[in-house]
Amino acid sequence: MTLIRLKPGLALFLVVFVLSTTQSWAQDWPYFSGTQTGTRYSALDQINRENVDDLELAWTWRTGDAERYGAALIDRQSLENTPILIEGSLIVCTALGRLAALDPSTGTERWAFDPEEHFGKVSFENAMFPKCRGASPWLDPLASEDAVCKQRLIYGNWRFRVYAVDARTGKPCPDFGNGGEVVLDPGRPVDKDEYIVIPAPPAISGEVAIFGSSISDSVRVDSLSGKLRALDVRTGAIRWEFDPVPRDPADPAAATWEGDSAQTSGNANVWSMMAVDEARDLVFLPTTSPSPDFFGGTRRGENRYANSLVALRGATGEVVWHFQITHHDLWDYDLPAQPVLVDLPRDGGVVPAVVQLTKQGLVFVFNRETGEPVFPIEERPVPQDGVAGEWVSSTQPFPTAPPPLVAQGLEPEDAWGFTPFDRGWCREKIEGLRHGPIYTPPSLEGSTVMPSSLGGANWGGGTFDPTRNLLYVNTQHLPSMVKLVPNRGAGGEAPLAGHDTSMANSAVFPQRGAPYAAEFAMLLSPLGVPCTAPPWGRLSAVDLATGTIRWQVALGSIEKLAPIPLPLRMGTPNVGGAIVTGGGLVFIGATLDSKFRAFDADTGEQLWEVRLPAGAQATPMTYMIGGKQYIVICAAGHPILGGEPGDWFLAFALEQD
C-alpha cells in the first residue's frame, strides 16, 4: 500500500475568549475553533492527564450519506467537519451540505436541514471532493427572543451557495436571500475540469458573514477569481468584496504585477479559515497562490496580495496591513492555516499578536494591530534560474524565530529507506532532479520541493494554550517534485495528452494558457514510503514567548502504511488539527492510522489513543453539559491521503461511577 494516494488533476493540498468571562464560554464551543481567534483552547479540565486513560465512547452519530447518495460518493468526500455547540445543540454538517442538530449528551438527531429538500434535487456526479468544515452562528440583537432566526446558522457548500437557517428549528431564514439561499456568481462559466466551492465556515464580523472559496489549481492561467464576499447576515446581500489579485491599477499592490497580469490571473483565494479580532474590527486572511501554481511567467512580479497574511477592516473590506509570506509563488506554498490571535508577554508588556503557520514549516508572528514582526524577519537570497520565460524572486522572507519546524530543502545524502535498496533508489532519484534548498524553482528535469505543498503545516493549523504560551502544530516531513513540460500549441492551450509521467503517483496540471504544463509527484520509495527520514508526521510545541521549540514528537503509527504492518511510531502524513485543554492535554486525530490521541501538553508524551472506524481527518472540539465534559471528533477519511472512508461523529467522556 502506498503511503499517499494521489488523484490526477487535483492539487495537493482560545488566547481564550479575551472579551468574554461568562460561564457559557467555559461550556460551549460556538465557532469552528472555539472562538474566532483560532486558538482552539478550552479551560475545561474534568478530563485531565490523571484520568484521560479512562475515556470511553459515549455516543456515535452517522451522517447516512452513504445510504442517501451512494458509497462511491463517500469514497470521494473529505468531510473535515468540526461541530459547534450553540443554543444547547451540537451542530454538524455533512460533506454535501446537510446540516443537523444533535443532542450533545446522546447524539440523538433533533432536526436536519437538507438544501435538496428546500431548493430542489441536484446531481452529485460532479461533486469535487465535497466537504463542510463547519457553520458559523450569528445572534440578532434587534430581534425578539421568540423571533424566527434570532439565532441563525450560516454556511456554504460544494455548489458555491450560502444558506442561513434557524438554530432552534433548522428551518431556512425567510429574509436571507431567496428564502434562505444565496447563489454566488463564480464570475464566468466553470470548465468541466474546474471547480469553485465553499469548504470553510464564514468569518462573522459585525453584521457580515465573510466567505472565501476553494478553487481548482493550475487548470488555466486565467483561473476563477479568488475574491472574498461579505454577505449581510440578515439579507444575504453582498456588502463588500475583496480580491487578493489587485485589479485596480490604483491599488498599491498592483505595482507588484507586471503589465496587465493582474487582469488575467485568478485564484489567490482564501480556502482555509479566517480569524477575527472583534474588538478591533479586524479580519485576518490567509491567501493562496495566484494562477497557475507552478509557472509564473504570465504573472511576473511579487504578486501581492497573494500568498499573504492580509488584515482587513471587517465593516468595509479595507486593507489595514498585509505581509507577503511567499514572493511570486512557484511551489503551491499558499497559506493553508487559520491565523491564530494571541496575547504574548514581551518586554514587560503584552503584545496583541497574530501567528501565521505555513506549508514551509515557518512560523511568522506579527503585531496584529500594526503588522510589525514580533520576531525579526530577514529577506534571504534563494535559488534562481527558472525555466525560460520565468520570473523568480531574488529573496524570500525567513523569520529569525521560531526556528523552522521541518527541513528546508533536500539533498541526495538526505535519502532514506527501509532497506539499502530503496534508500539507493531514493538517492538516485534525488540526484537526477534539480535539488537543493527550499525555493529551488521548478525545472524541465524536475525539481525537488521540500517541504512539499502538502506541508509543513496544512489547514489543521495550530492551537494555543495561553497559560503556557505554547502553540501546538502538527506538520509533515515529506518531499515532492515538480517537473515542467512544454505544452503543445503556441498558446499552450493543449493539455499534456499522452505524456508519460515519470513517477507512478504523479498528477498532471494542464496550466492552459502557459507555455508549460506541470507534473507533481510525491518522492516515494518503491516500498511506498517517503524518501526522507521519519518521523513523517510530527506534533510540535512552540514557545511563543521565547520563539523556541519546546518539544517535538512523532505523530502517527505506520502499522497501516508499511509493507509489513508494524506498529512503529514513525509519524504519518496528517490532515486535521488539534485542540488543547485546561486538563493539560492536546487532542488530535489527523493521522492515516485512523487513531485519535491525547498528548501531555508539557512534555509531548502520548497518554491515550483509540482506534476509530475511519480516518479522523478533522479537528476535534470539547464542551461540558450536564456536568460532563465531552470530546467530539469527526471520522470520515480523506480521498487524497487514503484514510479509511466513513461518516462518523464520535463523542468520548469519562466512564460513570
In a 3-state reduction of DSSP, which class is residue 65?
Answer: helix
Q: Name the phi and psi angles at 282, rounded to 5.
A: -120, 135
Rounded Cα distance, 5 and 316, in Å = 42
In a 3-state reduction of DSSP, which class is residue 71?
Answer: helix
Say which amino acid occupies 397: P
**What b-and-e string marks burial along 324-337, b requiring 16 or more CB atoms within 10 Å of the CB?**
bbbbbbbbbbbbbb
Rounded Cα distance, 494 and 220, in Å = 11
Which distant-in-sequence residues (6+ apart) come within 8 Å of 249 by Cβ?
A: none
Rounded Cα distance, 81 and 399, in Å = 32
Rounded Cα distance, 483 and 507, in Å = 11
Rounded Cα distance, 53 and 87, in Å = 31
Rounded Cα distance, 250 and 299, in Å = 18
List helix spans (H) across 392-547.
Answer: 420-431
Say which amino acid occupies 10: L
Take residue 22 and report the three cell numbers written for it.
461568562
Q: Name the phi and psi angles at 52, rounded to 5.
A: -60, -30
In a 3-state reduction of DSSP, which class is residue 53?
Answer: helix
CA dihedral 498→217→483→538, nearest 10 degrees, is -130
Given the C-alpha cell 467555559, which residue does it identify? Answer: 26
Given the C-alpha cell 511570486, which residue does it identify? Answer: 328
Query: SS in 3 state form for 406-446?
Result: CCCEECHHHCCCCCHHHHHHHHHHHHCCECEECCCCCECCC
Q: ω into residue 498 within 30 of 0, thus cis?
A: no
Q: Which of 570, 598, 573, 588 is nearest to 634 (CA)?
A: 588
Rounded Cα distance, 132 and 97, in Å = 6
Asked if residues 240 and 317 have their Cβ atoms less than 8 Å apart, the reply is yes
Active-site positions read 332
Q: Name the phi and psi angles at 183, rounded to 5.
A: -95, 115
